[in-house]
Every structure is written in structure tokens, then in C-alpha cells.
Amino acid sequence: MTTAKAETAITPTRAENYADWYLEVIKAADLAENSPVKGCMVIKPWGYAVWEHVQRVLDGMFKATGHVNAYFPLFIPVSLLEKEAAHVEGFAKECAVVTHHRLEVKDGKLVPVGALDEPLVVRPTSETIIGESFAKWVQSYRDLPLLINQWANVVRWEMRTRMFLRTTEFLWQEGHTAHASEPEAVDETMRMLGVYADFAENWMAIPVIQGEKTEGERFPGAVRTYCIEAMMQDHKALQAGTSHFLGQNFSRAAGIQFQDEKGALGHAWTTSWGMSTRMVGAMIMTHGDDDGLVCPPKLAPQQVVIIPVIQKPEVRQQVLDWCAQLKADLEAQSFAGTPVRVHLDARDLQGAKKVWEWIKKGVPIRLEIGPKDIEKSSVFLGRRDRRPKDKQSIPRGEFVAGVGATLQNIHDALFQRAVAFRAEHTRTIDTRDEFYAWFTPPPTRNPNDPTPIHGGFAMTHFGGDPKLEAKIKDDLGVTVRCIPLTPGDPGTCPFTGKPSAKRVVWAKAY
């Protein structure tokens, strides 16, 4: 006897082909599409609305910690990059370079002419050019700390691209700060890492591990790099945000010097930190299901959608008027510091079609309202964190008064589900053989099992040898994602037998 396959809105499912499922969710939710420019994407209104909420929340968090926004040029002279050798080496293969400044028609075709005196690199990151400004702005200890953030686009010439996760051009914020002392800069680095973790968990409902990168994964030119790592539903890790302690490397290259209280001249201590549109990809892969996108309520473009169910023309206006008043009453409520975002879908379309469209877009709450609901003064409620057919009738007043609590409950449910998933696919491992077995796919598996117990995060002791880490990466495609900041017990590296201060997180990663 065979079991009939459950109908889903997304084909293929996560279990059948996770990579294609991801792209189909983006398409079904109308988040983005490929552009005529290879490796770049067009972010459509629904996807950009998610990013706008990410911007709004993060921008408020940055300003609450004393940072202000500025903007710096998209083009960086090659000579500036050359000042910081390790930085250049890390980004050289990803740079797009402008070499000419105009086009002319020759033989019916546009060709570049007017070679630039110095090539310009299209911004891959801004440490070097911001450093030039900081060198002018900082003269005295009284000018410090300097706390700047920039919202911008960057270009990194990627060979293999995937929408939101890795594109040639993407959107992000990059924070850059300068300080009078090393402890102040280290504190800033850790503070902003904490801001990212707070945002990921309390706004995106994505559990993360805060930790330090190994030498091999460190940002080019940094003294230390810290990150937040999240587990996606295919068991891979995704680096969701980074914060870098740059020491005096970039300030020496850019000449960021200041006089201290005693009149002595010294170089500033700097940091940088960033989070990008990759977080939209993280949201999809953490919460999405086989029916489409699942938006965490605090960042959803619309938090409640009202779907009038009208079968007879004579009741149409009555239902629409009732729904309009419901919309107004809900918008008078607040959640996460802003009025509840409500959309009334009054399009003249079949109700079932509208319902599935909003399911695929991931709206947290759906309300289906027909004449019978109006008679009972109730709403017919569907939650996106539950199955599509799991609906219930709730008195109108009770729902309106408790809409904020319901949205928070959905956030909590998504977060706890992601925490449980990560725990299920994390192993504490103490032998090399078990480690290799954990990351070696079995020869066969049940294609209908969406969460085979294999792969994920491995917690092992590690001696820190970069050559060993590189070999394991070559063997298994696995890297040390981070050294967790949480306290750990000392032990023995299972690969070398050398002492290890604490366990690290290994995983395959995006």
C-alpha cells in the first residue's frame, strides 16, 4: 500500500530538491527575479518591503547605540586599496574595475574610450575609502569615538550566484568606527555583534550562535572577526552578520592619527561590521515550508490580510464595509512598536485563489470574512505558522484586542521551531571517524523524509591548525563556522590529539 503524496503549493518540495525549492519560493512569493545583468537580481516590491523593515529596525538599533548615517563613494581608486595589502589580496578576485569614462560609436557599436588615469574599483566594501575621510575628520582624542554607518550597495564578482544569498550586486549596511583605545574598539566590535544577534532572534525569529572566526575564515585585514551563524533547513550554516576588530591595520594604512590627552600622536583603533540582503535568504530557508514563504511577523510587509468571501453580489458592499471597519480597528492596535500592518484584499477574484496567494507570500495572519462571520461578529482565522486547513472562528472583539499577542505567539512559535530543528541536527562529536561519518551522505535515503538525521552542526574540540582545517574543507566541504563565545570545557582535538580550549562549530555553509 502506498501513501498518497500531500498536495503542496511549491514544487519541488524541500525534501525533493532543496535548491530548486528555494528558488520556487522566491518566485511564488514574488520576492525577486533574475535581471538582464548576469548574477544580479531585481528585488520586487514584496521582497523590498521585507528589506525596508530590516533597514528600519536595524537603523533604529544603530542610532540607539550612538551611530549616525553617512554616505561614501561607490568608486574606490586602486591606489587606496593598495595601501592595505591583506585587504587587497582578500578581495582582488571579486573586484569589478572601471577603466574608461565614455562610450563612442564605432562601426555601429558602442565601445569604451577615454581611459582613466587610474582605474576605479566598484565598491566591494568601504574600509579603505572611509579610512581616507576618517583621516581628515580625526585630529584629536576629542573627535573620538567616531561612529558611522552606511546603507549602500556593493559589488563582488561572484562566479556562482543565488538570489539573496550570493549575488554580484547586493544591498547592505556597513558600520565603520574609530576609537582612542584598543579596549574601546573591542567593546564596540562585541556590542555590534550583540545587536545583530538581538535582531536575528527577536525580529527575524532565527536562532544564532555568536562566535569568533578562525584565522582561515577571518575578514581580510582584520585582527579578529566575529559572526552570528544560523542553521538552514538543509542543515547548512549561513553566516548572518559579521563584526570585525581591525586593530590599527587600516588606520595605519589610511593615516588615521590623533593627539591624546597628553599630546602624544597615535593611530586610531577601528572596527567594521555588516549585514546584508542575505538575511532575506536566511528568512526563507529558516522558516519557509512546502507551501511557500513564512514571514516572521515583525518584518512581514503585511501582518494581517483580510479576505472578503463574497458569493452573492447583493452582499458585496455589506461585507466590504464590515471588512474596512475591521481593518481600521486592527490598524489602531500596535505590535513591536508600530501600528499593525493590515491589507484588505478587495480584488474581484475567487476567494480560494486569494487565500493561496497570501499563503505563498507568507503573511502571518489571514482572515476570511463572509456574511455568516458578520452575523456572528466573528473572524475566520488562519495562521501561517500552522497548516493551511488549520483555521478557527474567533469573536471579532477578542481577536482585535489580542492581535498583538497573536503575532507575538507566531514569532515565538517560529523561533522555538527553529531552535528545536537546530538541536535535532547538532551533534557533539569526539572521534575523527564519527565526524567524517556525520558529514558523509549515506548512499540512499528516503526522498520523502524532509529531515534525514544526517549532517548539520558538529561540535568538536579543535587545535586550531589552519592546514588541518583546509584539509577537512577539501575532504568534506566543511569549515569551522565559529568558535562560540559561550564558555566551554577544555578537551582534546579528535584530529590531532592536541589540547583544545573549547569546542567549535563545524558545518557545510552557504
Cα separation of 428 and 461, whole Å? 9
Cα separation of 41 and 170, whole Å? 8
Q: Report how far Cα 149 is from the mean position of its chain's Cα atoms.
A: 18
Summarised one tens digit per residue, pLDDT across range 333-346 is 999 999 999 999 99
Quote the pLDDT of residue 85. 74
φ, ψ of residue 481 in degrees (nearest 5): -75, -40
Summarised one tens digit per residue, pLDDT across range 317-328 is 999 999 999 999
φ, ψ of residue 17 in degrees (nearest 5): -160, 95
Mean pLDDT of the region 17-46: 97
Summarised one tens digit per residue, pLDDT across range 438-478 is 999 776 555 555 444 579 999 999 999 999 999 999 999 99
Q: Which domains does the chain have, with CATH numbers?
A: 18-96+125-205+244-287 (3.30.930.10), 299-416 (3.40.50.800), 426-507 (3.30.110.30)
pLDDT at 4 exceeding the cut of 70 = no
pLDDT at 6 exceeding the cut of 70 = no
Quote the pLDDT of residue 448. 57
Mean pLDDT of the region 249-278: 97
Cα separation of 283 and 296, whole Å? 8
Percent of the chain with pLDDT over 90: 91
- CB of 129 closer than 8 Å to CB of 148: no
Summarised one tens digit per residue, pLDDT across range 126-170 is 999 999 999 999 999 999 999 999 999 999 998 889 999 999 999
Quote the pLDDT of residue 1. 38
Q: Coil, strand or helix: which one is 23?
A: helix
- CB of 488 closer than 8 Å to CB of 473: no
Cα separation of 214 and 128, whole Å? 23
DSSP 14: T
H/E stretch holding 318: helix 316-331
φ, ψ of residue 350 in degrees (nearest 5): -60, 135
Percent of the chain with pLDDT over 70: 97
Across the chain, which distance is largest between two alpha carbons, in Å? 85
pLDDT at 425 exceeding the cut of 90 = yes
Mean pLDDT of the region 362-373: 97
Quote the pLDDT of residue 382. 98
Quote the pLDDT of residue 83. 85
DSSP E strands in 86-216: the ranges are 97-106, 109-122, 146-155, 169-179, 209-212
Summarised one tens digit per residue, pLDDT across range 172-205 is 999 999 999 999 999 999 999 999 999 999 999 9
Cis bond leading into 12, ω under 30°? yes
pLDDT at 310 exceeding the cut of 70 = yes
427: how many CB neighbours lie within 10 A of its CB?
17
pLDDT at 230 exceeding the cut of 50 = yes
Mean pLDDT of the region 378-398: 97
Half-sphere CA count of 130, side-chain side, radius 13 A: 24
Cα separation of 510 and 229, whole Å? 11
